[in-house]
Structure 1
Amino acid sequence: MAQVGHESHGLTKLEEGFRYTKGISQIPVKSAMREGAQALESARLEALRGRPEALADLMYGGRMGNDEPGDGYKYRGRGYMQLTGKDNYRSAGEALGLDLVHHPDLAAKPENAARIATWYWQHNVSQNAREDVTKATRAVNGGTNGLADRESRNERWLQTLTPELMEQLAAGRIGRAVEPPAPATPARTAPNAAADGVLKAGEKGPAIETLQKSLHALGYTDGKDRALNPDGHFGASTKEAVQAFQRAHGLKDDGVAGPKTLDALKKAEQTPLLSNPAHPDHAMFKQAVGGLEKLGPQAGFKNHAELERAAATLTFEAKVGGLERIDHVALSTNGTGLFAVQGNLNDPGHHRAHVNKQQAGEQPLEQSTFQLQQDTQQRQKLEAQANPNQTQPPPTRAMG
């Protein structure tokens, strides 16, 4: 169940998405680099634009039985175990009486996905690997991608599928009234995750849930740009979000929420975001949002939240660049950049600031807010040093 849960994102993903938003380092398939980093990056960007065929071919083409053009995408990961490759589709289909080679979409139907997952586990995971998360991961994944999340899920299932429950399952007693068990020694209360002032992977409880909700409210996601699920379990996704917050605040990105990280998080929650009307630069942020909205579909944002993240990044760069307002937002000629413009677009003397569109859309809103706050404080400090007399009160005369 831990392996299935990871591969299918908690039984919610039945088809591989090919959305690697952070860069080619996210792509877990070594063979994808066979044509070089530039070709892979180009294919990754095409996939984000809704054309994943080239990326699928780099990842899976020419192996696992994929011997025809287009097979990499045709036999992409599907089902709860993310069945991948023509050879695996053929083997599973023959074992289960399904024509998966000619109709690969059948593997994504929930009723078939469950049967395929069971077959795959029995067929590919040896008996001695089924009790070892690392060995089972290698059998399922071919490597150890996502091992921390798989271990976290396994731990939760071990706590759920107790020996007593397994005995009832084996005896077919689930769903029927059973005799209450004999009194047992009360279970030990789980330790308070926040007792030592440090929150880390593997811990669970209300403090972890609060941490997850705070990170989510500030716009931080996991390594695949997915929103955090505030389930109270500190797994791989929570660690990735903590690391993103730490990097944004210049902290050691170890994924452990210690005193410094928790203090920075508390301060961040108390500071209004650029999207909040209470923020002093909210007006410029709204100008950036309006400019991006005028670009329409050509801007290429997946949703309005991504657009707002880009607007916040533009606002920060505009302020740092000395702009006092944003009159226009324009796309670069190749579509990969955004310009915030003060003045007439046709005026050679206009002021502008530039950002990378993809990076701007990925940067959490709170990160841009924090960076702007840091820059403002630094400028105020420099101004105070340059004009020390302006910060001192006028001398008073003694009354005679």
Structure 2
Amino acid sequence: MPITEQQLLQILPDARPVAGIFLPALNRAMARWKIDSRLRQAAFLAQVGHESGQLRNLVENLNYSVEALLTKFSRDRINDVDAKAYGRVSGRPATQQAIANCVYGGAWGAKSLGNTSPGDGWRYRGRGLIQLTGRANYTAAGAGLALPLEENPELLEQPEHAAMSAAWWWAKHGLNELADAGRFQDIGSIINTGKPGRVPHGAAERKALYDRALKVLA
């Protein structure tokens, strides 16, 4: 069942400037990937709403402070020297490209994300409504959607592809079935950490959006 613009804005009120653009893209994406029940749509809209800042941010923000880099990422992904050199401090913004190439590159990036070439961390940073990240994910999504995402990763900054890639990833990782089972926190954990059973970043906001979506879509 397609959602209406009124329903979308009741769930994601901060999306007002872009709701009219995203509504048809979201409905097409949800229909194609069988996100077609109240539970599935509520879970999907809540999770992508959180990941994208309510549909307003289609490219990952890596403007981390030095302290955040050292807290969020392990030392095999960014060392103390690089964190202090690239992280945001008073009077100096973060060097986002260098951060991306550190935390998504190296041995960890090659193993976990398929980032095997210099600059892949930045080139394949998070994009779209679910923040697809890494060369391997871009390649797989490109094959699944018949889009040249490996060659043109910026395509995920377009609303149609941003929504479709999120729904593709959702279905590919079995999240419809988890939504059916009411395992909402596990959905967020898989999106945010790669595994179920953990507390995802922004868990409280994800749950608040989900609860709101369930009421709106009732």
| TM bracket, shorter-chain basis | 0.5 to 0.7
Count of residue correspondences? 160
Match of 1:183 in 2: none
Tell me the distance in 1 between the aligned counterparts of 2:80 and 2:209: 33
Tell me the distance in 1 between the aligned counterparts of 2:216 and 2:203: 20
Aligned partner of 2:207 among 142, 148, 151: 151
Shift of 1:107: 0.9
Shift of 1:129: 2.3
Shift of 1:146: 1.1
TM score, norm. by length of structure 1: 0.37
Shift of 1:45: 3.0
The structure number with the bigger radius of gyration is 1
Residues 42 and 125 of structure 1, relative CA distance in 2, 3 Å threshold: farther
Aligned partner of 1:80 among 121, 129, 134: 129
Residues 65 and 147 of structure 1, relative CA distance in 2, 3 Å threshold: same
Matches within 5 A, 1:172-211: none
Match of 2:172 in 1: 123
Shift of 1:108: 1.0
Matches within 5 A, 1:350-365: none
Q: Do the aligned partners of 2:51 and 2:131 also contact (CA within 8 Å) in 1? A: yes
Residues 73 and 32 of structure 1, relative CA distance in 2, 3 Å threshold: farther
Aligned partner of 2:84 among 33, 37, 41: 41
Aligned partner of 1:25 among 68, 85, 88: 68
Q: Does 1:139 align with 2:195?
A: no
**Greater RCO, CA 8 A, separation 6+:** 2
Match of 1:391 in 2: none
Stretches of structure 1 that go unaligned for 5 or more consecutive residues are: 163-400
Q: Do the aligned partners of 2:62 and 2:96 also contact (CA within 8 Å) in 1? A: yes
* Cα-to-partner distance string for 1:317-338 (whole Å, 9 max, x where unaligned): xxxxxxxxxxxxxxxxxxxxxx
Tell me the distance in 2 between the aligned counterparts of 1:60 and 1:28: 16
Secondary structure in 2 aligned to 1:56?
A: helix
Match of 1:69 in 2: 118
Higher helix proportion, which one?
A: 2
Tell me the distance in 1 between the aligned counterparts of 2:125 and 2:157: 10
* Cα-to-partner distance string for 1:84-132 (whole Å, 9 max, x where unaligned): 0001000000000100001000011111111111101101134442222
Tell me the distance in 2 between the aligned counterparts of 1:13 and 1:96: 21
Shift of 1:58: 1.7
Tell me the distance in 2 between the aligned counterparts of 1:34 and 1:117: 26
Shift of 1:9: 0.3
Secondary structure in 1 aligned to 2:102?
A: helix
Secondary structure in 1 aligned to 2:148?
A: coil
Shift of 1:137: 0.8
Residues 41 and 89 of structure 1, relative CA distance in 2, 3 Å threshold: same
Letter in 1 for 2:93: R
Q: Do the aligned partners of 1:8 and 1:80 also contact (CA within 8 Å) in 2? A: yes
Q: Do the aligned partners of 2:86 and 2:96 also contact (CA within 8 Å) in 1? A: yes
Tell me the distance in 2 between the aligned counterparts of 1:29 and 1:92: 27
Tell me the distance in 1 between the aligned counterparts of 2:176 and 2:71: 26
Q: Do the aligned partners of 1:8 and 1:81 also contact (CA within 8 Å) in 2? A: yes
Match of 2:56 in 1: 12
* Cα-to-partner distance string for 1:137-194 (whole Å, 9 max, x where unaligned): 12111161111111111111111110xxxxxxxxxxxxxxxxxxxxxxxxxxxxxxxx
Tell me the distance in 1 between the aligned counterparts of 2:71 and 2:143: 29
Aligned partner of 1:110 among 153, 159, 184: 159
Residues 100 and 93 of structure 1, relative CA distance in 2, 3 Å threshold: same
TM score, norm. by length of structure 2: 0.67
Task: Compute the RMSD of aligned alpha carbons.
Answer: 2.2
Matches within 5 A, 1:322-341: none
Q: Do the aligned partners of 2:129 and 2:166 also contact (CA within 8 Å) in 1? A: yes
Tell me the distance in 2 between the aligned counterparts of 1:6 and 1:126: 16
Tell me the distance in 1 between the aligned counterparts of 2:71 and 2:172: 23
Percent identity of equivalent pairs: 35
Q: Do the aligned partners of 2:69 and 2:83 also contact (CA within 8 Å) in 1? A: no
